[in-house]
Amino acid sequence: MSIPDRLLNIPRPVIFILIGLAVFVPLLFKFLLPLKVLKPVKDVYDFIESLPEGTPVILSFDYSPDVLPECYPMSLALAKHLARKKLRIYIMTLYPAGAGFALDVYNKILKEFNLVERKDIVFVGYFPSIAATILGIGEDIRNVFKTDYFGVPFDEIEAFRDVKNYEDIKLVITISGAAIPESWMVYANGRYGANVAAGVTAVMAAQLYPYYRSKQFIGLIGGMRGAAEYEKLLNAHNLATKGMNSISLANFVMVLLVILGNISFFIKRRRKR
């Protein structure tokens, strides 16, 4: 078998091993690769920075475990930023499997920032109807957040005091690997003029850029890179920065493989002619 033939037929297990190593090896070492913060991510950060202390903000975990590696690091980074800024955080989810992550992040920042439960932060749980929930918040949160996740009634939750709808809730952040940010954009921003920011998987980001450009999203955090950029802005390098090293190397290996495949393809084609 000639060299171009061999390069055109690298066995699948070899490719799997190469990608596996590219993902795994960077996780063993602690190093920082350069990373430029792009405008869509900076816009989210700047908007949060501009909010005064105590402003109510919704952080919605609209994803399931399949997109955990991309969405969880940005969830944590955003939650930490909100807590650091001492905003009033309402954590919720419109995805049945999202409640677990939401609870996890809720417990983590509660502990790390010494927040007061139901005063500085409240976890309202999962809501089954996406459109009705988003629209309902636009009318009166009392009709939607009847209790928190642990069953404490609305009136006993200090974090809800003097808050009615999106006029009081100055920012909605949705983190998702599906089309839920579009629902937030259509119903919360379109109908009620709410400020919506989205943290999404890299695949979804391409789909949502038009809405960011038309200012229907105030900012966009796309994939692991977006999360790593956010961690850089916070100066708190964590899961996303580590993951970004792996993704960088894995992408590099993929590009090399495709280049190798193409070189062999051209050599073979020329020989045939």
**Cβ atoms of residues 57 and 88 within 8 Å:** yes
Query: What is the closest distance, in whole angstroms, from the C-beta atom of residue 9 to other proteins in the complex?
Result: 9
Q: In this structure, what token pair is assigned to residue 184?
A: 């937030």
Residue 85 or residue 115: which is nearer to other proteins going by CB? 115
Q: Edge-to-edge, what's the strand order for the sheet holding 219-222?
A: 121-126, 88-93, 56-62, 171-176, 196-200, 219-222
Strand intervals (E) in 71-194: 88-93, 121-126, 171-176
User: Mask 57-76, x = binds other proteins (CB under 8 A)?
Assistant: -------xxxxxx-------
By C-alpha distance, which of 208, 188, 236, 222 is closest to 81? Answer: 236
Residue 12 or residue 114: which is nearer to other proteins going by CB? 12
Spatial neighbors of 230 by CB under 8 A, at least 6 apart, are: 41, 44, 45, 74, 77, 78, 81, 221, 240
User: Mask 186-205, x = binds other proteins (CB under 8 A)?
Assistant: ----------------x--x
Spatial neighbors of 99 by CB under 8 A, at least 6 apart, are: 61, 93, 125, 126, 149
Q: In this structure, what token pair is assigned to residue 237?
A: 């390098």
Q: Is 20 in the site for other proteins (CB under 8 A)?
A: yes
**Cβ atoms of residues 188 and 138 within 8 Å:** yes
Query: What is the closest distance, in whole angstroms, from the C-beta atom of residue 24 to other proteins in the complex?
Result: 12
**Cβ atoms of residues 56 and 169 within 8 Å:** yes
Residue 19 or residue 115: which is nearer to other proteins going by CB? 19
- Answer for which of 3, 29, 36, 111 binds other proteins (CB under 8 A) is 36
- Answer for which of 132, 161, 167, 215 binds other proteins (CB under 8 A) is 132
User: Mask 203-242, x = binds other proteins (CB under 8 A)?
Assistant: --xxx-xx--x---------x-x-----------------
Task: List residues near other proteins by CB under 8 A.
Answer: 10, 12, 15-16, 18-20, 23, 33-36, 38-40, 64-69, 97, 99-100, 103-104, 107, 128-129, 131-133, 135-136, 139, 143, 150, 202, 205-207, 209-210, 213, 223, 225, 244-245, 247-248, 250-255, 257-258, 260-262, 265-266
